Structure formats: C-alpha cells, structure tokens
C-alpha cells in the first residue's frame, strides 16, 4: 500500500478510536498536530470550506479541489482534510458533511484531463458528536497516467498542470511536464509457468511439460521482450520446443561461452500487451523420473531474467518442488 492510501486508512480509523476522555474530533486534531509533520505534509493538505454552514461547493472550494487532484495525482498522491485551518490546525467543521463529501466525489472526475481514478472519501464527526457536522477526508492516489491538466473553468488554474511541493501545489514547469509525459503506463513482466502432459517426441514416453512464458501484469505494452533461463540439472530446455518441431515463442539468442543459461529475444515488432502471456520455452520432466513416490524426483529450479525495451530487467527464481511434480503427474493418470 502506498503512502497516500496508508494515511487515508489511518485517518479513517480515527473515527473508531473514540474513548471516554476523547472524541473523534479531538483525536483527529491531535493526530494532525503531532503526527503529520513536515515529511507527511507532502501527502496531506488542510482545507477550510468557503462557507462551512452548508454542503454546497463554492468557487473557491472547486478551485482547491481541482488543484489538489492535479497536484497529488501528478506527484505521490495524498489526502485532503477538509474543515481544518492550515496555519494553526484549528477546527472549522462543515455542516452536512456527508453530502459535502458526496458532492466532492461527484465533481472529482470532471476537473482534470485525464480523469484521476481511485479517488475516495470519508468523514469524521465533530465535537460534540453530530451526524451532520464534521471533517472531510478525500483520498487522491498517485496516478499511473500523468500528467493531469485542470479542466475546471476557473480563472488562474484552468489548463495548468500542478505538482505537490512542500505544503503547496505549484504549476509544473516545462521540464517537469516533459518528465511526467515520460511516465506513461509501464509494463510489469513476470515469469508464467503452465504444466501440461504429452508424449515425448524423442523417446515416445509420457512426460510432464512446464511451459515458461512472460506475463505482462502492467498497464503498458512490452516491446522486444527477452527471457533468459538457467535450469538446474537434471532438467533442461526441451529441444523440440513448444510445438514439437523445434520452434520457440521467441528466437534463441547465442549465449556467451561458458554460460549455462538459454536466452530468447526478439525485435521490436514483437509486443506483449497488458494482461497477456507470451509463451516462450518448455522444460520436459520424463515419466521415468516420476517414480511411484516423490522421493525419486528432484525439485525443478529455474533462474530467470526478463527484460523489454525501456524497462529495468527483472531477475528471480522459480521452483516446482518434487511434491508438486508428483501430484501433477498422478493427476494425469
């Protein structure tokens, strides 16, 4: 969970922390004064409502919301706490607070382009407790689609891109915009393994086949994917490939002399879209190794490296223990 979401959850929990000696409002104010220091202020902002006697959003309220949504979404995310004066952390509770938060959540998707997803809201009752008066909490998560431009038709903020800086929201510079436009959705690549059974072409006996591929769990497209696998003996890459005719999902790449890994790569015309698995190679486990008990089987251990154009390579280990192999084997019988 990121910092903004953690903070939002902690603030929501304060509503349940009422004690005989302290109300939720007192607990909230103490938390804001004692816990939310200078570092936390990167992820929290206090706002007073223009007129706290009603729930309707006035022009200044809309402007504050739009700047915060753009600024937090373009930065590390954050939480807006409505109904507290910033300078001295004094309470300025809002009447009809539930309706006020509803109004915030209705307006939020309309104030930036593109829309910031995942905005959420809650509230904490004031002191003395009254269901219609309190303090608003608005979560604005960090966006995976920055930058977000203000659409709200309001003088001084429309068409600007904001960033969180210290305790304020500042208009992004040209250089900062270039950086944000470069932070488009990125692929997230992981190793995918699928077990199947078939007749071995080399010796005509049944085998388990562990098919290895690259799965893209991210939102961006992976271009020119690459996979390197080092398989510990007694197992190895199945020489007849995915189709039994020596074909693999990516072209084999010549490895350096003395290395034990098998590499597969491609040109930029091969892509893996979000949510897609691209199968690459296969490991065969011959049936003669799958004795009557798991004791005669060794664990299948694979060291792998995955990469694609413009992203940092990912390395890891994948293990199928002998019990899993044995159970998979008998499940086919």
**Alpha-carbon distances, residue 198 vs 42, 65, 125, 211, 291 (angstroms):** 57, 60, 64, 12, 17
All residue ranges of the chain with pLDDT < 70 are 1, 18, 37-40, 129-131, 182-184, 199-205, 255-258, 287-296, 330-333
Instruction: Write out pLDDT tens, residues 288-310.
Output: 666 555 666 788 899 999 999 87
| φ/ψ (deg, to 5) at 120 | -140, 165
Confirm if 152 and 66 have CB atoms less than 8 A apart.
yes
What is the per-residue pLDDT for 107? 97
C-alpha closest to that of 328 among 297, 306, 282, 307: 297
| Angle of CA points 151, 152, 154, to nearest 5° | 130
What is the per-residue pLDDT for 175? 83
What is the per-residue pLDDT for 162? 96
Rg (C-alpha) for the chain, rounded Å, is 28
Instruction: Write out pLDDT tens, residues 118-159.
Output: 999 999 999 776 668 999 999 999 987 889 999 999 999 999
- Residues forming beta bridges with residue 164, ordered by sequence position: 169
Q: What would the 3-class secondary structure string for the chain be?
A: CCHHHHHHHHHHHHHHCCCCCCCHHHHHHHHHHHCCCCCHHHHEEEECCCCCCCCCCCHHHHHHHHHHHHHHHHCCCEEEEECEECCCCEECCEECHHHHHHHHHHHHHHCEECCCCCCEEEEEECCCCCCCEEEEEEEECCCCCCCCEECCCCCCCCCCEEEEECCEEEECCHHHHHHHHCCCCCCCEEEEEEEEEEECCCCCCEEEEEEEEEEECCCCCEECCEEEEEECCCCCECCCECCCCCECCCEEECCCCCCCCEEEECCCCCEECCCCEEEEEEEEEEHHHCCCCHHHCCCEEEEEEEECCCCCCEEEEEEECHHHHHHHHHHCC
**Considering Cα of 110, then 116, then 117, then 121, what sign does the dihedral take?**
negative
What is the per-residue pLDDT for 8? 94
Structural domains in the chain plus CATH codes: 3-181 (3.30.950.30), 189-331 (2.60.40.10)
- Alpha carbon distance 295, 244 (integer Å): 29
From the number of C-beta atoms within 10 Å of its C-beta (0-12, 13-18, 19+), residue 182 rates as exposed
Neighbours of 257 (CB within 10 A): 5
| Angle of CA points 113, 65, 41, to nearest 5° | 110
What is the per-residue pLDDT for 255? 66
pTM for this predicted structure = 0.58
What is the per-residue pLDDT for 42? 85
- Residues forming beta bridges with residue 285, ordered by sequence position: 208
């Amino acid at each position: 969970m990121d910092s903004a979401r953690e903070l939002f959850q902690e603030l929501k929990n304060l509503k349940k922390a009422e004690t005989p000696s302290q109300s939720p409002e007192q607990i909230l104010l103490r938390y804001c004064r004692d816990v939310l220091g200078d570092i936390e202020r990167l992820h929290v902002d206090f706002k007073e409502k223009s007129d706290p006697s009603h729930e309707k959003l006035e022009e200044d309220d809309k402007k504050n919301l739009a700047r915060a949504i753009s600024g937090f979404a373009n930065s590390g995310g954050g939480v807006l706490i409505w109904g507290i004066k910033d300078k001295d952390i004094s309470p300025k509770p809002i009447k009809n607070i539930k309706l006020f938060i509803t109004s915030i959540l209705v307006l939020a998707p309309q104030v930036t382009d593109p829309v910031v997803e995942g905005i959420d809201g809650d509230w904490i009752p004031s002191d003395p407790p009254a269901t219609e008066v309190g303090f608003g909490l608005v979560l604005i998560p960090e966006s995976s689609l920055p930058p977000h431009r203000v659409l709200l038709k309001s003088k001084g903020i429309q068409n600007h891109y904001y960033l969180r800086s210290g305790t304020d929201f500042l208009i992004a510079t040209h250089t900062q915009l270039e950086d944000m436009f470069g932070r488009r959705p990125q692929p997230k690549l992981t190793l995918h393994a699928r077990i199947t059974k078939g007749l071995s072409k080399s010796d005509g006996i049944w085998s388990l086949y562990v098919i290895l591929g690259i799965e893209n769990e991210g939102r961006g497209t992976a271009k020119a994917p690459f996979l390197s696998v080092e398989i510990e003996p007694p197992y190895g890459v199945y020489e007849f490939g995915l189709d039994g005719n020596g074909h693999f999902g990516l072209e084999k790449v010549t490895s350096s002399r003395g290395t034990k890994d098998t590499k597969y790569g491609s040109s930029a015309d091969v892509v893996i879209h979000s949510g897609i698995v691209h199968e690459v190679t296969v490991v065969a486990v011959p049936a003669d190794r799958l004795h009557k008990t798991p004791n005669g089987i060794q664990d299948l251990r694979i060291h792998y490296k995955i990469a694609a154009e413009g992203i940092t390579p990912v390395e890891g280990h994948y293990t199928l223990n002998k019990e899993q192999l044995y159970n998979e084997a008998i499940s086919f019988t």
